[in-house]
Structure 1
Amino acid sequence: MFGSRLKMLREEKGLKQKDLAKIIGISDRTIGMYEQGRREPDFETLIKIADHFGVTTDYLLGRTDNPRGMIVSNKENEKFNQYLPEELRKGDVQIEIEKEPHESLQLSEEELKFLAKEFYKEFITRGGFEYVEKLKKESQTKKD
């Protein structure tokens, strides 16, 4: 699963194995082995790959088909949003979390608070609203 997803993401970005290898800081042979399923990345490399493509490590590993989020119920999504800092709750930015009524995580209040805190840290790390605008532009370009 990891190898095929890595190859798909790399090709979607129009990157050659050697290009991605240079970005991640590993050899192009290693990328080839990952894609063939003959080798697996260490945690640090997995995180670098996920960050580069803007997907979760769970998506890369095949634990979810949702590249950028988690599955929660509408009720959990509302609670999650209430724990976010005010600056993320106002404005035109909507946090989209895939919803599948038959598959809910059944998160506790503490887990929702923790996720909101971790989401916010990740949001800031990736560049905040500038990153969101970049994603919007990339998404619009793909639609056109």
Structure 2
Amino acid sequence: MQYNESNRQDGDYMFPERLRALRTGKHITLVQLAQDLNQQFPTDKDHENTPSQIGNWERGVRTPSYVEVQKLAKFFGVTMDYLTGLTDSSIYDLAKMFISGQTIQFEGETLDSQDRYQIYQLISGYVHGKTGRKPQPGPKIQQEELDLGMPKDTGK
């Protein structure tokens, strides 16, 4: 698929621009990106990424497959929606992620609702304590006590 004025309004047009911006923002060449992708996401020799292939994606001459877009999003630490132009934000709001119904994993371990709540509380406490800000009213979540296995301070 070639990019032109007719598909300029849809998300497909944003992909080449965002890919180039992400790559140049990291100060890496097409050769370096191809090597890094092949190293981080090994495949057989017939399906390795090449600098010319990535250059074609950046110029809008070719469109990458779903798998290739997924690899690029993981490599650059952005969402596929951002990379393809479906959203303008590459920022994740962890608070929304923890209170959403989405499955969240950490190092391959799925977090249950209690884990999510406790991690939310830890991050919230850290951020608000670090910046000295008062906690903003957040989502209505039933407060639970986090047992870190430390002895309780009895005040004596």
Indicate the residue corresponding to 1:15 in structure 2.
28
Is 1:68 the counterpart of 2:99? The answer is: no
* Alignment RMSD (CA, Å): 2.9
In structure 2, C-alpha distance between the alignment counterparts of 1:22 and 1:46, rounded to whole Å: 16
Matching of residues 1-144 of structure 1 within 5 Å: 1-25=14-38, 26-69=49-92, 79-80=99-100, 83=113, 85=115, 86-92=117-123
Higher share in helix: 1
Residue equivalent to 2:151: none
Per the normalisation by structure 2, the TM-score is: 0.50
Provide the aligned length of Structure 1 versus Structure 2: 90
The Cα offsets for residues 74-115 of structure 1, whole Å up to 9 and x where unpaired, read as: 9x778528x472342221358xxxxxxxxxxxxxxxxxxxxx
State the identity %: 30
What residue ranges of structure 2 are gaps of 5+ in the alignment?
1-13, 39-48, 102-112, 126-156
Flag the structure with more relative contact order, 1 or 2, with Cα contacts below 8 A and sequence separation at least 6: 2
Residue 106 of structure 1 corresponds to: none
Q: TM-score, normalised by structure 1?
A: 0.54
Query: 5+ unaligned residues in a row in structure 1: which ranges?
Result: 95-144
